[in-house]
Amino acid sequence: MAFERSIKDQNREVELFVGRATTLFVMVVLLMGVLALRLLELQFWNYDTYASRSDENRMRVQTLAPARGMIFDRNGRLLADNQNASSLALVVDEITDVQTTLDAVARVLALSEAQEEEMSARLKSSRASDAYVVVIDSLSESEVSRIAVNRHVLRGVLVVNQLVRFYPYGEIGAHAVGSVRRLTQDDLLRVDPVQYSATKFIGKRGVEAFYEEQLHGAVGYQKAETDAFGRVRRTLDEQSPSAGEDIRLHLDIELQKASVEALSGRRGAIVALDPRSGGVLAMVSQPAYDPNIFVTGMSEAAFASLSSSQYLPLFNRATNGQYAPGSTFKPIVGLAGIAHGRITWEDVIEDRGAFQLPGQERVYRDWSWTTDNSGGQGAVDLRRAIYRSSNVYFYDLASRLPIRNLVDFAGEFGLGRNLAHDIPSAGEGLLPDPVWKQGAKGLPWYPGDSVNMGIGQGDLLATPLQMAVVAATLANRGDRVSPRMLHSVYDGSDSAPVTAMPPKSTRVGPEQLGADDWEKMVESMKDVVHRGNKGFRGNGTAWAYIGRDIEYRMAGKSGTAQVVEISQGEVYDEEALSEFDRKHAWFIAFAPADNPTIALAVLVENGGGGSSVAAPVARAVIDAHMKQQRLMSQRKQDNGQLDVAVLQ
């Protein structure tokens, strides 16, 4: 039996072999047929389509974004730089299902739903000409690694290197330098679409916005060979982009830092000018914001918190905050009275602490009035009225000075308009007159309106930038200069920089206002700071706060601007008012008084007294400036240079 089972069935084995061979042959023929059909499709039926697609996959013409010009301060310190960043981009042409890809990216990077929505929004707003769309601006090293590890499931997803704006000083320089923002559809309607075809950001605030044309540069082009994932494998031809021009500002970042420190976290603004050129040495608005977050991105919640804050960190108080200037307006009123022959420097009135217009019951009080003491400064001439800040003197003068004369004279100082050379968005304030009041309120101009305006109250409004111009004009003894941020532009060559248009000054006031009148006003403002130890009613209003140990001569004027009206007979009670209803504190000043190199305006929102609150801030800023002047002078002497003048 064992022998019989071991004999093979030859016929059966032949049949089995033939069957298997036939099946394999048929399968091979079918596969060859499929390949042949695919070949015919690729080579004949859809040749044009696939040839074009293949060529597109192999070679792409990409626009190259130019490097944005850098911004420096007056001493060469970098205020706005460009840094390399690893960014996440999508090659849309290489993605079959965009949403699936976004979901995959979100899983790999552990993104929130809001971040995924932001990526989707960027894709929707992208331009058809974009070779790829950057959906995340800045990736960490670990995120770059995760993308690399998961590349096989992230078709069309790239990590690209791009230059992004970086502000080394963050919020310290935010309102002065400005910032860039991501391009929007509205932006694309007003710029050259070719030059901005590869650009992702555009200047939106401050210097960045005003000098966009100089900073942007010119677009470049690249013809590159790419793989199926859209990654560049080889550059075939390239026309390099031209970097934007570097610009240098009058701004002194060290003085800017000193100004921020002087405000000590309080809401307010400081503008410091070089009175000789109008150059902005410092421009601070507090609270501020970090401009870098608008480049690297932030969550919707973070932006909502920033934009809805009651303290308005995005608002530039220095250029757009409009406030009643209070007693800092009095030097203008006094000089207007001199110019139009309503007073002389020798004229004296008796200040008993209150003023009334003839035939009216309303009483206009002095700043020192209390329920127990009417205050008053006694016998007052113009000089004493300035250093003691006599309200009664200026009530009386304003009541006798034709409003048209006062308004026109104040307008020559730059109030009621924006005189800045390169700050187009700066506020104009409000210089009210009878025509304005009739149009805005439907009411005539009353004598009481002039009285209120005499002490810088009523409808009169000014920005800190405008009051810095007022201080600079007084420092120049009547020569007004326009504020300017730009010092010079560099064209990238080794040649000398292209310097900005030289400053031009405008003479303020009629011919009747002589050099002696300006000098007497400066002397009066010196007394505000330096006149002391002569009894309470003989001291300058700021002497006790900043004048005791000062090593240089400063001229200044304090101001306290009322925010809410106090009824007749009532006493101002700061504790009873909300934070935002308290008085604003002002101080304008310049130094050294006889040869000024700095003029400034300080505004502390709802800060209280101008002398006690704003004056010490001004002193700290000017101290920092004077220290820098001494160091610069010493440095030049050490180098054997005789010219110790600062950069103008």
The domain ranges of the chain are 64-249, 253-638
Q: Which pLDDT score, from 0 to 100, does residue 341 have?
A: 95
Please, where are the H alpha helices in 113-240? Answer: 113-124, 141-149, 174-177, 185-190, 206-210, 212-216
CATH topology classification for 253-638: Beta-lactamase (3.40.710)
Alpha-carbon distance of 116 to 140, in angstroms, equals 17
- The kind and range of the H/E element at 638 are helix 615-638
What stretches in the chain show pLDDT beneath 70? Answer: 1-8, 42, 44-61, 127-131, 224-237, 299, 369-373, 491-502, 535-536, 564-578, 640-648
Q: Residues 6 or more apart from 578 whose CB is under 8 A from it? A: none
Rounded (5°) CA angle 445-451-457: 95
Alpha-carbon distance of 626 to 275, in angstroms, equals 15
Query: Which listed residue (327, 368, 389, 450) is catalytic?
Result: 327
Closest CA to 633 of 647, 620, 648, 646: 646
| 89, 158 contact by CB (below 8 A) | yes
pTM for this model (two decimals):
0.83
C-alpha radius of gyration, the chain, whole number = 36
Q: Which pLDDT score, from 0 to 100, does residue 407 have?
A: 97
Q: Which pLDDT score, from 0 to 100, does residue 644 have?
A: 45
Tokens of 547: 């004048």
Residue 327 known to be catalytic: yes
Q: Which pLDDT score, from 0 to 100, does residue 16 have?
A: 77
Q: Which pLDDT score, from 0 to 100, does residue 500 have?
A: 63
Closest CA to 339 of 198, 491, 521: 521
| pLDDT tens string 235-251 | 666 788 899 999 999 99
Q: Which pLDDT score, from 0 to 100, does residue 1 have?
A: 46
Domain 64-249 has CATH 3.40.50.2000: no
